[in-house]
Chains A and B, each alone.
Chain A
Amino acid sequence: MRMRRDRGGATVEFALLSPFLGSLIIGTLIYGSQLVKELELQQVVRDTASMSARGTNFNSAANQSIVSRLGQELGWPNTGGLLSTSTGVVYVSTIEYLDSTCNGVTPVCKNAGHWVFLRSVAFGNTTMRKSNFGAPPACLPSCLDSNQTDGSLNLTDSQNNPLAVVSSFTYLGTPDKTVNGFQPGQPAYLVEAAGKTGPWNGGSISYAFSLF
């Protein structure tokens, strides 16, 4: 009798403890898994921005495929690059600031005083997560410079089309030729990416960006 009671006691104790222990283990696993994916997403935007700033053309399928391979922990395809059905999206843009003189263009262009897109490429599941800055530009594809292969906008559209204006970009302040620092007319390379970082499909979507 006593033996049976002792055995039952251990079972009861385990039963009492297991919810706490189980949730601790499962919670740690979920958090760890999400953390790994967050890290991967950060790494993807960092590497993509670094390549973009060094002249890589992300309108090329081969280079898009490299980005996809970088995000394998996020469930991105190992071959063929991100698709519209994939669990990720990447926005690669080049932007510049047009000062009140439109950086010296005469007559002064309509987008003077705004950040504008010079180049923008989006690949992957663009419906999954929108860009924080309006990439790709709302005027695409009509403002795409078809004479180029890297997602460049027509210069006149960058300067005058209101749909080529970058939205809500405040990270570099208002560049001013009379103030030291980033200057009007200089290119900045902006990369945004989103991927599913939750533990299961349908889980949470994380977002990251880098500016080089």
Chain B
Amino acid sequence: MRARSRLRKRSQGGQAIVLFTLMVSTVLIPITGLAIDGGRGYLVRLKLSSAVDGGALAAARLLGTGSNATVQLANAKATAAQFVAANFPSNFFGANLVGTPYVCVDPGTDNTDPCNVGNGKSVATYKMRTVLVRASAAMPTLFMRILGMPTSTVASSGLASRRDVRVILVMDRSTSMQKFYTGINQTPPSIQDTALKFVNGFSGSGDLGGRDEVGLVVFGGSGIVAYPPRDITKDYTVYTNFTPPDNNFKLSGNIPKYITDLKSGSNTGTAEALYLAYMTLRADAATNTDLSTKLNVIVLFTDGLPNGVTAFANDPTFLTPNDMMNSSSGCTDLGKGSWATSPLVNKAASGNTNMIGWFAQWDSFKNRASAAHGLFPPMMAYAYTASGSYTGKGDDIDAYMQNGGADSPSAGINQMTPASTCGSTMNGSMASFPDRDIYGNYTKLGLAPAVGGAKPPLAPGGQDLYTLGDLYSNPTQCGGSTYQPTLTTNGCQIGLASWQAAAHQAWKIWNQIIWDKSSRTNKVDPAANQSQPVIFTIGFNHSSDGISEAPDMKLLQMIANDPASPVSFSNRVKGQAFQAKDPNAVDNAFSQITSQILRLSQ
């Protein structure tokens, strides 16, 4: 008994080693090996996933490369494969790509799912341009080969998609832009080069997908919708009179021609330009059920401060008629206004002339009690046609582009400049300047009535919003001299009116509020389909050349509802304000906006 017990005890000695050896070979090494090979596989998969993401995003970003849809498709596929290979170096942890990546491009022309991104389930592919990239890599195992698994294959797929977009590009062509509008194909690039490159990045007719829509608004003191071409006979203070943009924008006679022929001149009527952009963007909101599925974007390019505003000076519907020009001013041919006699006729006409036009501020925001103002012909609403330069119906767009002074003093009415027909300016009182422009944008923002319970924000502390801007935030910023709000002949007041009208129009866009001419009120857009636009702004600051004052970046941040804006205009997705100090930077800003559009449209 004792002998057996001794034997058993002796036989137990070394059992742990035997057991451990067995465990090492059957449990520990396989488990450790699984962990190590699994970890390597996970790392390879992450790298592969990064590679296919890079390939899909690069292909989606550059989907417009090529002269037609066939070439664009071939370029997209080749580009995706190049980026996958670039991101997955050979022998990455011993792994290599297997074959060439699978690249599928769905132009989104129907609801079929050729790339099977829905994995058999129903997904919305119509009106979405999609690039799918799949790749796999084989990785030799270190430990698992002991168990008969010499290689492990990992696979990954990347997807980049973009909704159709509708973009309205708003270009400032004020006089200070003269040396930057020098034609196309310039070195360094002209602003026209940068704008055209931006426009050509979208997918128009004949391109892969081909459903992006781009419109163009060009503005000086007064602006026009250049594309789709405006019809000068229409009353564009009525929001139903606008035409939506289409996908033919790239055709040589359309936006490329207008941008190529663009010449500088005149002031900066930002509020009207934003109004025209928004009305064009939402022109078919009542009927186009696709509108809310698109990403709708307004891109405002400007190099200066608002210093022009289009208004009806003696609007008879104002509660307190402004009487900006009456008989006591010596301008006997200027009536008190009548909607019945619109559109505007020039000063030579007899009778009850309307006072509709754009009010200009001169002299770089200096205090000037004389020669500081003027009233000039509008180009869009109640467009001035008497000079014979324009024939209407849209065939005059290129003439407007080539004539920087189309809306300048030499072109027509100029009732308000001293030494002209009138003996004195504006009845000597800027205090009677219209409370709102012709599109319902308040020139004294604090007076703007609430719409749907909402009002434009005030500055913290209840001060006027303009005190948050760069120009009027302190009393010495009006051209370096003291800004005197109470001095009624102060030229800065037209600038200030323009500033506030622009801010109001941007706030209205972010809150989808429109001007209803019939009721003379702003109201929440009643259309069935909302555009919910996002605004991007580019402030071209070339003030160091002494030609232009610096743009008010705070205002541009407000317009874009930039996260850095001192106030928020909306809780919707934010836009962004870019500051650019040379054409190269403008090009860069356009490029960044293109990238942002890709981000937002996913």
Q: CB within 8 Å of B: which residues of A? A: 2, 6, 9-10, 13-14, 16-17, 20-21, 24, 28, 31-32, 35, 38-39, 42-43, 45-46, 49-50, 53-55, 57, 104-106, 119, 145, 147-150, 152, 154-156, 171-173, 179-183, 186-188, 210-212
Contacts and interface: CB of A to CB of B under 8 A. Distances in A.
B138 interface: no
Contact of B581 (A14, A148, A172): A148
Contacts of A104: 185
A20 B29 CA distance: 12
Contacts of A147: 580-582, 584-585
Contacts of B58: 53, 182, 188, 211-212
A31 B588 contact: no
A55 B43 contact: no
A24 B28 contact: yes
A124 B16 CA distance: 52
B579 interface: yes
A180 B82 CA distance: 10
Contact of B592 (A2, A55, A210): A55
Interface stretch (B70-78, B214-222, B256-264, B304-312): B70-78
Contact of B43 (A2, A39, A145, A180): A39
B4 interface: no
B9 interface: yes
A13 B596 contact: no
A58 B522 CA distance: 41
B47 A42 contact: yes
Contacts of A31: 36, 39
Interface of B: 6, 9, 12-14, 16-17, 20, 24, 28, 32, 35-36, 39-40, 42-43, 46-47, 49-50, 53-54, 57-58, 61-62, 65, 71, 74-75, 77-79, 81-83, 85-87, 185, 187-189, 579-582, 584-585, 588, 591-596, 598-599
Nearest to A31: B36
B43 A28 contact: no
Nearest to B55: A212
B87 A210 contact: yes
A13 B12 contact: no
B53 A155 contact: no
Closest 9 CB pairs of A and B: A147-B581, A55-B595, A171-B86, A181-B78, A46-B50, A54-B599, A180-B78, A35-B39, A55-B592
A172 B85 CA distance: 8
A187 B593 CA distance: 14
B187 A2 contact: no
B200 to A, nearest CB: 12
B50 A28 contact: no
A130 B107 CA distance: 41
Given A145-B585, A148-B588, A181-B79, A55 B596 contact: yes
Given A55-B593, A145-B582, A149-B579, A211 B46 contact: no
B32 A106 contact: no
B529 to A, nearest CB: 27
Contacts, number: 140
Contacts of B49: 46
Given A2-B9, A31-B39, A181 B188 contact: no
B6 A2 contact: yes
A188 B87 CA distance: 12
A53 B39 contact: no
Contacts of A14: 16
A212 B591 contact: no
A24 B24 CA distance: 10
Nearest to B28: A24
8 contacts: A35-B40, A42-B47, A49-B50, A53-B61, A54-B595, A104-B185, A148-B584, A187-B591
A154 B588 CA distance: 11
A173 B187 CA distance: 27
B105 to A, nearest CB: 13
Nearest to B86: A171
A26 B17 CA distance: 20
Nearest to B74: A180
Contacts of B9: 2, 6
Contact of B53 (A16, A38, A171, A212): A212
B501 to A, nearest CB: 29
B32 A24 contact: yes
A35 to B, nearest CB: 4
Contact of B598 (A2, A54, A152): A54
Nearest to B583: A155
A49 B54 contact: yes
A180 B596 contact: no
A152 B46 contact: no
In this complex, which of A31, A46, A182 has the most chain B Cβ atoms within 10 angstroms of its Cβ?
A182
Contacts of A212: 53-54, 57-58, 83
A210 B79 contact: no
Contact of B16 (A17, A20, A180): A17
Contacts of B596: 54-55
A179 B79 CA distance: 11
A60 to B, nearest CB: 10
A67 to B, nearest CB: 15
A8 B42 CA distance: 44
Given A57-B592, A181-B82, 13 more contacts: A6-B12, A28-B32, A28-B35, A31-B36, A35-B43, A45-B50, A46-B50, A53-B57, A54-B596, A148-B581, A148-B588, A182-B83, A212-B53
B39 A183 contact: no
In this complex, which of A32, A39, A42, A211 has the most chain B Cβ atoms within 10 angstroms of its Cβ?
A211
Nearest to B58: A212
B585 A182 contact: no
B50 A13 contact: no
Contacts of B24: 20
A186 B62 contact: yes
A39 B48 CA distance: 12
A17 B78 contact: no
